[in-house]
Structure 1
Amino acid sequence: MQRLCSKKLFLLRINRHACSSIGKPKTPQNGLSNLILFSTYSHQDPPKIPPKLIPTIMPDNPDLKNGATHLIHLKNEHGSSTETQNQDPDEFSADVEKIYKILRKFHSRVPKLELALHESGVSMRSGLTERVLNRCGDAGNLGYKFFVWASKQPGYRHSYDVYKSMIKILGKMRQFGAVWALIEEMRKENPQILSPEVFIVLMRRFASARMVKKAIEVLDEMPKYGCEPDEYVFGCLLDALCKNGSVKEASLLFEDMRIRFNPTIKHFTSLLYGWCKEGKLMEAKFVLVKMREAGFEPDIVVYNNLLSGYSVAGKTADAFHLLEEMRRNGIGPNPTSYTIVIQGLCGREKMEEAMRVFTEMDCEADMVTYTTLISGFCKWGKIERAYGLLDDMIQKGHFPNQTTYLYFVLAHEKKEELEECLELIKEMKKINVWPDLSIYNTILRLSCKLGETEEGIKIMNELEEIGISPGIDTFIILINGLVEHGRLVEACDYFKEMAERGLFSSPHYGVLKDLLNSLLRADNVQLAKDIWSCLTAKGCEINVSAWTIWIHGLFSNGLVKEACFYCLDMMEAGMMPQPDTFAKLMRGLKKLYNRQIAAEITEKVRKMAADRNMTFKMYKRRGERDLKEKGKEKKDGGRKRRARQRQWGSKSRKADTL
């Protein structure tokens, strides 16, 4: 009751403070990472960690602070170009939705797609293409289809922002060959729009894929396209490597390139950030020494990085000593500095100590600081304290954003309070703060967990209505929920929709395995075959693992011949079956006395083994060994499970006796 009263109080205050802002579109904001780590380049293409908006450090320049007295600003993950900023959002909305629906319906049939786009009545104009690309979200292949079609329209030419957006999308899909082809197209058709920023985007995508050599090669390729790399570009490369776990390679590159690029404080800060992120404080301190030797004194960004390192390592005392050192050196801690320390304490459930730091701050707390404390209270189940802090936050004039609400939703999810989550969404909409995909995914996950799959479907439909493209996680959550509660037909429909949007890829084969096995166990063989046909027809990534899931699923459900036929299809596609798959099929065919299919599979496997410089005898022996080991593991697992059940049974009987 106390929590509900507190909740009502803060909602009343929100509505009172929001009266002047209702009716004005509010940019969605989402402001906190799991642990705040900063580098000087963090405002450039931030790392892919949820939520979508992260706090970043800007250089200590009053012109860059947007009038604020501190150094934090919130930047949208996707950025916003001048091309779209100057346009009225309503000018594009109807056309964007019309195009998006056409792309979803016809993207796998190019002639029909082009005809539908031509007949749509949409006029190509500046800003439209970029809005369509953003609307497609993670479904990059949809965006690429429209990008190609738009380039053929008379009187239209892609702008720099459109090319940059498309390069980001293709890079995220790891279609790096297509990215280079796009850059080559820019060089031939519109060379004046080629800028270092395009190559920086590509570097960051290579770095996020842990393709360090390819990222460095971009630096060497730039002069061929008329872009000479400078200290800034080199710094962006270092920053990208350090953010993506390649700080060791970045350090070696920094030493190798010192003659070519003069070191700057940003270079040192990126390296220091990387070592702090890895928790290697000795290396970070060594970078600090080298920085001073090069004539650079640490600034607020450097100190905040070190504070982050201490927080990650749990060295709270060292963090407090560093705050004192900052004051002695005339660099007063800003809200970011205190937020870092507070978040480290919140992560270790030291909430009272975090509150003490909060109350003793010698500068005004900002929205991120409040949200950090709220996240801590929500994480440890103290929702009443979190609502009280939110009320205090609003009184001080700091408006809650999407991230603030996300932590409340997560706390209610932990307590399985679906009604409270849905109520929060309604209140967010009333004050014009629209829920983002993270919030919807959380509520969708809770709905499926509680068996409220109808509510989950309603959430999916609502996403489409408000113009948010469901991501791969959204589809997987809903499909798993539908499968778990026996709604296999709907699960298949959503899986096909996911495949049609180009969202299905190899890291998500778990959902494929669960769906196919559930269908086969329910004797829905035709539906399972439809799912597999959909994957092949839509050009989804199908590797040996996917084929193995399908073949083993068929075999385990007694469909040995079908499994063998699909194994032959797999080999026709140039992929060799796993040794244990071959051994399993041979055992099954032996029981069926089907020597003809066994001979056909064996002959093809022999040929493929020879092509790969592998002896068939070794391949066969390995398959039998792997199959035997898996059977033993399964048997041992069952024995241990039965032993645990007997143990639990004896305990319960003893308890009943007592």
Structure 2
Amino acid sequence: MRLKLLKPLLYSFDILQFVRVHLDVGVVKSSSRVIKVGGEPSNMKMSLLRFLNFLSKTHRKPIAAALFTRSLTTYSKQSIERRIFNRNSLPGHETSFGYSSTLHRIIYRSIHEDLTPKHLSVEHYEKNPAETKLEQDAARICTLLSTHSGSHADKLLEDASIKVSPSLVVEVLKRLSNAGVIALSFFTWAEKQKGFKYNTESYNALIEALGKIKQFKLIWSLVNEMKSRKLLNKDTFALISRRHARARKVEEAIEAFERMEEFGFKLETSDFNRLLDTLCKSRHVEKANKVFDKMKKRRFVPDIKSYTILLEGWGKEHNLLRLDEVYLEMKYDGFEPDVVTYGILISAYCKAKKYDAAIELFHEMEAKNCKPTPHVYCTLINGLGSEKRLSEALEFFERFKSCGFTPEAPTYNSLVGAYCWSMRIDDAFQVIDEMRKHSAGPNSRTYDIILHHLIKARRTNEAYFRFQKMSNEPGCEPTVSTYEIIVRMFCNEDRVDLAKQVWDQMKAKGVLPGMHMYSALITSLCHKNKLGEACKYFQEMLDAGIRPPAKMFSNLKQALLDERKNDEALNLARKINKLRGTPLVVRDQK
């Protein structure tokens, strides 16, 4: 009798799934078995589930959603996530569908619209209402600049009637940090507009973008401009030093630090620490240690931060022997470990997979009345979670709360990651529900963690589904790192057409790709023998001033030669040489 009453309701796939979920049981279509997810299924449930599984194989038009409003409200539960196998997903892929407790979304959104092969395309999302006008204008400008160049781009910017302000210029330049040539072009256009005002932040944002494409001659001309406008600060030199270090120009990084005196700044211990930090974070820890030994007590008196920077550097290198040497030297010089030092030591031991030693340090902290910070708890939850010591990670999370801390996004993200390492994705989404409940997220980083683990588990359809949902949630809009995760996923699966669609969506949102994304897409196009398109993206990469990795260029060149396209290969080689040998034009002083 119940089945007869339900039958008119079950022509909508959404309702099929809804009823399955609220029976607390998932159905795997690839076998006749019912896999238990909740409690023991009753005979009634078993019969109903078989019937639902049969109906899900037939394609019928959904009936009006309005018919279900009254009956569905009685089933409302708090935010449920369950996994099923979708008969229309690509072979070999498990798909998970997410349903919030909001019934409107369950009724009106069809599962099939995202994940069936013939509908597997990228949506252009509507603007998030939470976006500020500044962000909207910045996104519009970046979209125009990424799709047009030269005077044509300038004209489009003029026609866009966007009011230029110092804050808008900074926002755009930050978004263009992966495209130094375009960033310079925008800055040159912006400084001619009404409302533009030179400030330190905009210059520094431009220097950051130009540093990524190694335009150091131009950068120093900008430093002279800043000096003449009295806009220079120590942050500018720290930026230049960091970009040199990232480019493996260690001596030039040290020289940039030294040149502060030339421009009228007095060097202090805090500046010395900044140099050490720059070298360590650029994987030049040995050089940083030598600089420390050379300058110690001759030019600077190190403080505890000087030592903790070196400790962190050796910890990231997994070199516990050198870390212990620095630690002993620190204590010999009269510095006792503080909460930051302990945090760095615990992080170092976790990175070296010495989790028991890290836990001992945690207890040592407490014994010395050195209260662990949220960062320390995050480190242990992350580390233990990655080792699949989930129960211990959960214990530290509970301990964190019992100490009076209110969990924020970073702590919750650590917990999400811990569940993901043990492939308890449903539990990870329950944590996300808790984040929403406490207004602590989620954010794009939360979803990046989820996506990484779904892809690692080869649940790529589900990863793509989650990616599509991100833009509809305030604060979770995909970042360039998110787009890179998805583009790489499709490239690795030889679904390059979908990678290109995601790429286009990214560009439409005003997000510009970096070198690694270009490399992944171009390499994938070469494997698919789509050399014309590969060359197009390669040219786009060069136009942005991004130097291609040697291996990627070599692969593209060889692919062209294999197809007897010698002229195209030679042309690309010339362009590379020109990019390497020709700096951007140095600006005239204004």
> TM-score normalised to the size of structure 2?
0.69
Q: Once the two structures are superposed, what CA deviation does each residue of 1:570-597 show, in whole Å capped at 9, x if it has no partner? A: xxxxxxxxxxxxxxxxxxxxxxxxxxxx
**Cα pair distance change 1:387/1:199, threshold 3 Å:** same
Residues 493, 151 of structure 1: CA spacing in aligned structure 2 closer, same or farther, 3 A cutoff?
same
- Give yes or no for contact 1:378–1:408 (8 Å, CA) kept in 2: yes
CA contact (8 A) 1:499 1:535 kept: no
Distance 2:511 2:383 in 1: 33
Q: Deviations over 1:70-106 (max 9, x none)?
A: xxxxxxxxxxxxxxxxx843455545544x15xx543
User: Hey, what does 1:181 align to over in structure 2?
Assistant: 221
**2:511 pairs with 1:472:** no
1:399 corresponds, among 436, 441, 463, to: 441
- State how far apart, in whole Å, the 1-side matches of 2:165 and 2:432 are: 44
Deviations 1:215-237 (A, max 9, x none): 22223322221111222211111
Contact in 2 for aligned 1:447/1:456 (Cα 8 Å) = yes
Conserved 8 A contact 1:13-1:391 = no
Which AA in structure 2 matches 1:445?
R
- 2:130 aligns with 25
Q: Distance in 1 between matches of 2:129 and 2:336?
A: 44
Instruction: From the superposition, tell whether residues 391 and 136 of structure 1 become closer, same or farther in structure 2 (CA, over 3 Å).
Output: closer
- Counterparts of 1:137 and 1:448, CA distance in 2: 24
Paired residue type of 2:274: C
- Cα distance in 2 between the residues matched to 1:498 and 1:214: 26
Checking the alignment, whether the CA contact within 8 Å between 2:213 and 2:547 is kept in structure 1 is no
Q: Residues 427-442 of structure 1: matches in 2 within 5 Å?
A: 427-432=469-474, 433-442=476-485
Asked if the contact 1:15/1:431 (under 8 Å) is kept, the reply is: no
The answer to whether 1:348 aligns with 2:387 is yes
Aligned to 1:5: 82
The structure-2 alpha-carbon separation of the partners of 1:435 and 1:115, relative to structure 1 and needing over 3 Å to count, comes to closer
Please name the residue that 1:126 is paired with.
166
- Whether the 8 Å CA contact 1:499–1:534 is kept in 2: the answer is no
Q: Give the counterpart of 2:410 among 357, 363, 368.
A: 368
3-state DSSP class of the match of 1:5? strand
Matched residue SS, 2:259:
helix
Q: Map Cα deviations across residues 353-389 of structure 1 (whole Å, 9 max, x no partner).
A: 3334334444344432332233244345443443344
Equivalent residue, structure 2, for 1:420 = 462
Q: Which letter maps to 2:242? A: R
Equivalent residue number for residue 53 of structure 2: none
**Equivalent in the alignment of 1:279:** 318
Match of 1:234 in 2: 272
The one-letter code matched in structure 2 to 1:25 is A
**Residue 72 of structure 2 aligns with which residue?**
none
Amino acid across the alignment from 2:498? E
**What is the rounded CA distance, in whole Å, between the counterparts of 1:513 and 1:289 in structure 2?**
48
Contact 2:393 2:418 (C-alpha < 8 Å) held by counterparts: no
Pair 353,452 (structure 1): closer, same or farther in 2 beyond 3 Å: same
How many aligned residue pairs are there?
466
Question: Residue 607 of structure 1 corresponds to which residue in structure 2?
Answer: none
Given the alignment of the two structures, is residue 408 of structure 1 paired with residue 408 of structure 2, yes or no?
no
Aligned equivalent of 1:89, options 127, 135, 157: 135
Aligned mate of 1:510, from 544, 551, 567 = 551
State the SS of the aligned residue for 1:371: helix
User: What CA distance in whole angstroms lies between the structure 2 residues aligned with 1:134 and 1:489?
Assistant: 31
1:146-174 Cα shifts (integer Å, max 9, x gaps): 33455567995532112111221222222
Aligned to 1:263: 302
Query: How far apart in 1 are the matches of 2:348 and 2:259?
Result: 35
- Taking structure 1 as reference, are residues 278 and 330 closer, same or farther at Cα in structure 2, changes over 3 Å only? same
Residue 121 (structure 2) aligns with: none
The 3-state SS of whatever aligns with 2:369 is coil
Matched residues in 1 for 2:308 and 2:492: separation? Answer: 44
Aligned counterparts of 2:375 and 2:203: Cα–Cα separation in 1: 35
1:351 and 1:377 in contact (8 A); partners too:
yes
Long gaps (5+) in structure 2: 1-25, 27-36, 38-79, 84-95, 106-126, 582-590
Q: Is the Cα–Cα contact under 8 Å of residues 351 and 376 in structure 1 kept in the other structure?
A: yes
TM-aligned CA distance change 1:516 to 1:235, over 3 Å: closer
Query: 1:251 pairs with 289, 308, 326, which one?
Result: 289
Q: Distance in 1 between matches of 2:222 and 2:331?
A: 42
SS at match of 1:193: coil
Provide the secondary structure at the position in 2 that maps to 1:263. coil
Q: Residue 193 of structure 1: CA displacement? A: 1.3
Evaluate the alpha carbon distance shift between residue 179 and residue 282 of structure 1 in structure 2; reply closer, same or farther with a 3 A threshold: same
Moved more, 230-239 or 313-322: 313-322
With over 3 angstroms needed to count, the CA separation of the structure-2 counterparts of 1:209 and 1:497, relative to structure 1, is: closer
**Which deviates more, 289-298 or 258-267?**
289-298
Aligned match of 1:501:
544
Tell me if the contact between 2:377 and 2:397 (Cα under 8 Å) persists in the aligned partners.
yes
Of the structure 1 ranges 173-182 and 125-134, higher mean CA displacement relative to structure 2 is found in 125-134
Instruction: Identify the range of structure 1 (230-239 vs 124-133) with the bigger mean alpha-carbon deviation.
Output: 124-133
Offset, 1:114: 6.9
- Post-superposition Cα deviations, 1:261-307, rounded to whole Å, max 9, x if no partner, equal 23222222212222222333344344344444544432211110010
Using the alignment, how far apart are the partners of 1:332 and 1:533 within structure 2? 62
Q: Per-residue deviation at 1:337?
A: 1.2
Aligned residues of 1:14 and 1:431 also touching (Cα < 8 A): no
Q: What are the equivalent positions in structure 2 for 1:62-81 lying under 5 Å apart?
A: none
Rounded to whole Å, the distance in 2 between the matches of 1:145 and 1:466 is 20
Query: Are the structure 2 counterparts of residues 177 and 274 from structure 1 closer, same or farther at C-alpha, using a change threshold of 3 Å?
Result: same
> Aligned to 2:440, what secondary structure does the other structure show?
coil
> 1:449/1:398 Cα in 2 relative to 1: closer, same or farther (>3 Å)?
same
Q: Which runs of 5+ in 1 are unaligned?
A: 17-21, 28-86, 544-658
1:522-570 Cα distance to aligned partner (Å, 9 max, x none): 45x2xx5335425635865469xxxxxxxxxxxxxxxxxxxxxxxxxxx
Q: Given residue 515 of structure 1, which amino acid in structure 2 is its aligned partner? A: L
Cα deviation digits, residues 433-459 of structure 1 (max 9, x gap): 211222222222232344433322211
Amino acid corresponding to residue 101 of structure 2 in structure 1? L
Structure 1 residues 313 and 186, CA gap change in structure 2 (3 angstroms) = same
Q: Give identity over the alignment, percent.
A: 28
**C-alpha distance in structure 1 between counterparts of 2:128 and 2:140, whole Å:** 20
Root-mean-square deviation (Å): 3.5
Matched, 1:158 2:235: no
Provide the C-alpha distance between the structure 1 equivalents of 2:424 and 2:221, rounded to a whole number of angstroms.
53
Shift in alpha-carbon separation, 1:516–1:380, aligned structure 2, 3 A: farther
CA contact (8 A) 2:128 2:472 kept: no
- Measured in 2, the distance between the counterparts of 1:445 and 1:498 equals 17
Contact 1:367 1:400 in 2 (8 A): yes
Which of 255, 263, 273 is residue 225 of structure 1 equivalent to? Answer: 263
What SS is found at the alignment partner of 1:511? Answer: helix
Aligned to 2:67: none
- Distance in 1 (CA, whole Å) between partners of 2:412 and 2:552 is 38
Query: Is contact 2:179-2:544 (8 Å) kept?
Result: yes
How far off is 1:332 after superposition?
1.7
Checking the alignment, whether the CA contact within 8 Å between 1:9 and 1:391 is kept in structure 2 is no
Q: Which amino acid aligns with 2:82?
A: C
SS in 2 for 1:430: coil
Partner of 1:330: 369
Kindly indicate whether the alpha-carbon contact (under 8 Å) linking 1:130 and 1:165 is maintained by their aligned counterparts in 2: yes
1:15–1:541: structure 2 CA closer, same or farther, 3 Å change rule? farther
**Contact 1:453–1:481 (CA<8 Å) still a contact in 2?**
yes
